Chain A
Amino acid sequence: MINLWFWLVPVASVMALGAAYFFFRQMMKESEGTPEMARIALHVRHGALAYLKQQYKVVGTVFLCLTVLFSFLAYVLHIQNPVVPFAFLTGGIFSGLAGFIGMRTATYASARTANAARDSLNHGLRVAFRSGAVMGLVVVGLGLFDVAAWFLILTRFYPVESSLDDPLQNLVASHNLVIITTTMLTFGMGAAVQSLFARVGGGIFTKAADVGADLVGKIEAGIPEDDARNPATIADNVGDNVGDVAGMGADLYESYVGVILASAALGAAAYFGKGADVQLRAVLAPMVIGALGTLLSIIGVFLVRTREGASSKELLGALARGVNGAAVMIAVTSFGVLWAMGVPNKFGIWLALIVGLLTGIIIGRAAEHYTSQAFGPTQRIAEQSKTGPATVIIGGIGEGMMSVAIPVLAVATGISLAFYFAAGYHFDIDHIGLGLYGIGMAAVGMLSTLGITLATDAYGPIADNAGGNAEMAGLPPEVRRRTDALDALGNTTAATGKGFAIGSAALTGIALLASYVEEVKIAIGRILEKGSDFAFPDHTVLHPIASDVATLQNYNLMEMVTHFQVVLVNPKVIVGMFVGAMLAFVFSGLTMKAVGRAAGLMVDEVRRQFATMPGIMAGTQDPDYARCVSISTKAAQREMMLPAMLAIAAPVGIGLIFGVPGVLGLLAGGAVAGFSLSMFMANSGGAWDNAKKYIEEGHLGGKGSDAHKAAVIGDTVGDPFKDTAGPSLNILVKLMSMEAIVVAGVAVAVHLL
C-alpha cells in the first residue's frame, strides 16, 4: 500500500488547479473596458496564439522525431527503459500546457487589469496578481499531477509494498523504488525540451520585437513606448506573453518537476538497503513538501492586497506578504510533516529544506541588489553614462560579473550545509548519498512555494501589458500612473524570480549528476539482463550472474564514479568539462546573434511600413501589426533550431565519444559555467535596464540628456542578455542533465573511447 502521505500530492494538485480555475473565472468576470482596450487586447491575444501555434508545430515535429528515436532505442535496441517514450511525451505536453494556460490567462488579463486600475490601484493589483497566480498554480498543479499519476502507474508495474517478514520482498520493493524514480525522471526531459523551445523561441521573439520596436520607434521616429502608431508595438506586447509568461511557465514547470523527481530518485538511492519503507518515505518527502507548499501558496495568494494610493514600497510589501507568508508557513509546517512522515534524520532534512529556502532568498536579494536602481551597482552604471555608451557597457559587464559572486557563494554554501545536515552532520564522501539527497531537498525547499513566487513573476508581464493597453487606449493619466506603479513593481519581482529560477537550476543540476549515475547503474543492469558482460573503464568486469547483479545494485555513488574513473586527471572528464563550459558560451552567442538578426528584420519592416503607409504617423491608418508578429514568429522559429539542436545533441555526442566520464564532465562544466554566465547575463541586463530608469527618474541629467542616451544604448544591449540568453542557459543546463539521464543507456552501451 502506498504511504497515506502520498495522497496529499494529488489532493494539492487538484486544489491548485481548482484555485487556478477559480482565479481565472474571477478574472474573466472583469470587464475588458472600452472597445478600444478590448480591440488592443484582441490583437495581442491573436498574435500570441499565432506564435504558439507555429511554435507547437515545430516543437511537435521535434517531439515526434525524438519519440521515434527513443522508441527505437527502447524497443528495437533494448538499451533504454521502455517507458521513456511515453514519459517524454507527457512531460512535454504538460510543460507546454502550463505555458499555454498561463499565456492565455495573461492575454485575457492585461486589458482587465488596465480597466480595474481605472477603478483603483488595489483592484488593478488584485486582477493582475491573481491572473499571475493562475499560471503559478497551474504549473505546480500540473507538475504534481504528472508526478502523482506516473508514480501511481509505475507502482502498478513495479510494486513497492514491503514486509518486515519478507526480506526478498523488501529488496524487490527497494529496487523498484530506484527504478520508478529514475524512470520518472525521464519525463523531465520532455518538459526540458519543451521549455527549451519555449524559452529560446519566446526569448528571441520578445527581444526581436522589443529591440526592433525601440530602434525604429523610439530612437529613429521618437515615438514613445507602447504608442499604437509603432507597427512593432503589438509584437512587443505579444513578446512579453510568449517569452516572459509561456516561456517562463514551461521553464519553471520543468524546474519544479525536475527538482521533485531528482530528489525522489536521490532519496531512493540514498536509503537503498535501509528498508523499502524508509526508502519510500524519503522518496515521498519531496513530493509531499511540494504539495504542502502548493497548499500554502494558495493561502499566500489571498494575503496579497493593498490600499488605494499605495507607494511602490507598500505595493512591494503587499506582494512580499504573500510570498514571505507562504515561505514562513512552509518553514514551520514542513518540520511537522517530515516528523509525522517518519522521514529518517528529519531534523537534518528539515534544515536542508530551510537552507534551500534561504539560499533562494539570498540569490533573489542579491539579484535585487545588483539590478535595482535603489542600490550602488546600478547607480554606478548610471554614473558611467556621463562618459558615453562605451563606459555604460563596460560598467554593466563589470557589475554583472561581480554580481555572480554572492549567488555562487550562496549556492556553494547552500550545497555544503544541505549536504552536511542531510548526511547526519557529516561532510565526507562516506555519506555522499544522504548528502546529495539533502542538496535535492534544499532545491525542493527553494521551489516549494513556486505557486506563489511564480505568481509574482507572471504578474510582471501582465502589469506591463496592462500599461501598454492603457497607453494605447489613451486612458487618463491617473490610470496610467496606476498601471506604471504596477509595472514598476513587476520589474523588481522579475529580478527576484529569475534569481530563484537560476538558483534552483544550479542545485537541480548537482542533484541530477547523482541521478545520472543511478540511471547509468540501471543501464548496466539492463546489459547484464540481456546476458552480456559489462566492463568498467577500470577493468572491473560484471558478468550476467545473480551475484554480480546484486553487486551492481549495492554499488554506491562513489564506487560507481570510481569504476568509471571520474577523476579530474582523466582526460575524458576534462574534455567533457571544457566542452560543457564552451557550450554555455556558444549557446548564449547563438541566441544573442539570433536576436540581432531577428531585430534587424523587424527594423526593416517597421521602416517599410512608415515609408509606405503615410497615415500611420497621422493616426489615420492602422499599422500592419500582424506582419510584425509574423516576422518575429518566423525569425524565432528559424533561429531557435540551431541552439536547441546543439543542446540536444551535445550529451549524445559526448556520450558516444567519451562515454560516462565525458558526460559527467560535460554536465559539470555546463552547470558551473552556465550558472555563472546565466547570473552574469541576467544581472547585467537588469542593471542596464534600471540604470536607464534611474536616469529617467531625474538623475544625472534626466530624460533626454546625453547620459540618458548612453543608458538607452546600454539597455538595448542588455535586452537579449537578460531576457533571451540568460534565462535560456538554465534550461541548457537542465536539459543536458535530463537528456544525459534519458540516453544514459546509449553512453553505457556504445562509446568510442
Chain B
Amino acid sequence: MPTYLYLSLIPEALIGSMLPPDEFGLYFAVGSAKRSSGQALFFSVDPHQLPDKAFPLGHLAERCVPHPDGSPKNSIYVSIYRTLESVPISALTAMHLATDDGRVLTIKPQTFVPDEEVRSHLYQEFCPVTPRVVSRLDPQEFVTFITRPDQPVSVPRIVFAELTLGELKNDPDSSRIDNLPYPNIGHLRDCLRELNAGAGKPTKTVMRQMHQQMLFRTVRNGFFVGDQEGIVAFPMPSSEALEREHFAWWRSAQMSFGH
C-alpha cells in the first residue's frame, strides 16, 4: 500500500496515511466509528518536493504500515505547529475539502489570474491563523501584504479563501443580502464602511478567529496559498458545475451549519 502525505489545515499538521484522499477525508471528518463529525481541509503533498530534513520523514515508512488485521494505517502525525511555512507551495499538488459527513471534493492548483473587478474582498484565513478580514486588496496583493516580513505583524505563508460579499462588495449599505449567512451583518457593514472611508488600512478584521465551520457555498473564486514568492489558486467550481458533476459533495456541503 502506498503512503500518502497530507498537510492538514485544521489542525495544522503534516500527516502520513495509507488512505487515498477520499478515504482519508472520510476518516478525518467522521473518525473510524462515526463518533465525531466536522469538515476538514487538507492538501496532498508531494514528499519529493519537501526540503531535506524539514520533517522527519525517514521514520514514516517504518511507522505507516498496515494494522495486524491488514487494514491500512489511517494516520501518522509527522509534524504539528508551524508546518505550513516549511512546505513549499510547489509541493501542494491538490486541495481536498471534506464535508461533515466525509464527502471529499478535490480541487487542483492553477496559476492565479486576478479579475479586473474593483471591489471589497472578504477573506477567511485558515492557516497559520484564522481571522476573517475585509480588504481592499485582491488575493495576490493581500498575500504580499500579509507575508511581508518587515511588517510588525506578518506570517511567512498563508492559506485563505475569498468569501462572497454579495451586493456588499460594492455597497456596504445594500439591503440585498438575504443569502449571506454571516453572523452580525451590521458589524460586517461597519468594517466595510470603515475600509471604504479610510485611505490608511487596507484590511480590517471582522472576526478574530473561526468559531464554527465555514460554509463552502460562500467560497468565491476559491482557496489561495501564497507567500512573498508568489500565489497559487485552487479555484472552486461554479455552483452549477458542483451540482452537475459533484452533486453528492455539494449536497453534503450545504448541510453544514456555520459561519
Say whether A and B bind each other: yes
Residue of B nearest to A698 (CB): B179
Q: Answer yes or no: B32 CB below 8 A from chain A CBs.
A: yes
Residue of B nearest to A475 (CB): B247
| Minimum C-beta distance from A224 to chain B (A) | 5
Are B181 and A704 in contact (CB-based, < 8 A)? yes
| Minimum C-beta distance from A555 to chain B (A) | 66
**Chain A 695-718 interface residues, beta-carbon cutoff 8 Å to B:** 698-709
Q: Which residue in A218, A474, A617, A699 is a CB contact (below 8 Å) of B255?
A: A218
Q: Which residue in B100, B102, B181, B252 is a CB contact (below 8 Å) of A705?
A: B181
Are A220 and B257 in contact (CB-based, < 8 A)? no
CA A473 – CA B196 in complex, angstroms?
A: 50
CA A699 – CA B34 in complex, angstroms?
A: 32
What residues of A have a CB within 8 angstroms of the CB of B181 in the complex? 701-708
At the interface with chain B, which of A111-119, A458-466, A608-616? A608-616
Are B33 and A704 in contact (CB-based, < 8 A)? no
**Chain B 91-105 interface residues, beta-carbon cutoff 8 Å to A:** 99-102
Are B252 and A703 in contact (CB-based, < 8 A)? no
| Minimum C-beta distance from A470 to chain B (A) | 11
What residues of B have a CB within 8 angstroms of the CB of A709 in the complex? 257
CA A224 – CA B30 in complex, angstroms?
A: 15
Interface centre among B35, B179, B244, B258 (most CB of A within 10 A): B179
What residues of B have a CB within 8 angstroms of the CB of A618 in the complex? 23, 26, 102
Q: Which residue in B101, B178, B248 is a CB contact (below 8 Å) of A222?
A: B101
Q: Number of A residues whose C-beta is below 8 Å from B?
A: 30
CA A224 – CA B33 in complex, angstroms?
A: 19
Known pairs A698-B179, A701-B180; A222 contacts B255 (CB<8 A)? yes
Q: Answer yes or no: A477 CB below 8 A from chain B CBs.
A: yes
Are B215 and A614 in contact (CB-based, < 8 A)? no
CA A702 – CA B177 in complex, angstroms?
A: 10
What residues of A have a CB within 8 angstroms of the CB of B106 in the complex? none
Are B179 and A616 in contact (CB-based, < 8 A)? no
Known pairs A222-B99, A704-B257; A699 contacts B217 (CB<8 A)? no
**Chain B 10-25 interface residues, beta-carbon cutoff 8 Å to A:** 23
What residues of A have a CB within 8 angstroms of the CB of B30 in the complex? 221, 617
**Chain A 600-623 interface residues, beta-carbon cutoff 8 Å to B:** 610-612, 614, 616-618
Residue of B nearest to A226 (CB): B251
Q: Which residue in A218, A222, A477, A702 is a CB contact (below 8 Å) of B179?
A: A702
Q: Which residue in B102, B178, B215, B243 is a CB contact (below 8 Å) of A704?
A: B215
Q: Answer yes or no: B144 CB below 8 A from chain A CBs.
A: no
Known pairs A477-B244, A699-B179; A704 contacts B258 (CB<8 A)? yes
| Minimum C-beta distance from A283 to chain B (A) | 57
Q: Answer yes or no: B183 CB below 8 A from chain A CBs.
A: yes
Are A704 and B256 in contact (CB-based, < 8 A)? yes
For B217-234 the 0/1 string (1 means CB < 8 A from A) is 100000000000000000
| Minimum C-beta distance from A623 to chain B (A) | 11
Q: Answer yes or no: B49 CB below 8 A from chain A CBs.
A: no
Are A474 and B248 in contact (CB-based, < 8 A)? yes
Are A224 and B251 in contact (CB-based, < 8 A)? yes
Q: Which residue in A227, A610, A702, A707 is a CB contact (below 8 Å) of B34?
A: A610
Spell out A's residues near B (CB within 8 Å).
218, 220-224, 227, 229, 474, 477, 480, 610-612, 614, 616-618, 698-709
Instruction: Provide 12 A-B residue pairs closer than 8 Å at the C-beta atoms, listed in order of the A residue.
Output: A220-B37, A221-B34, A221-B101, A222-B256, A224-B255, A229-B101, A610-B33, A702-B179, A703-B181, A704-B256, A705-B182, A706-B181
- Smallest CB-CB A-B distances: 8 pairs: A222-B100, A705-B181, A610-B34, A698-B179, A702-B179, A701-B181, A704-B215, A222-B101
Known: A617-B102, A704-B255. 9 other contacts (CB 8 A): A220-B37, A221-B100, A480-B247, A610-B33, A614-B34, A705-B257, A706-B181, A706-B257, A708-B181
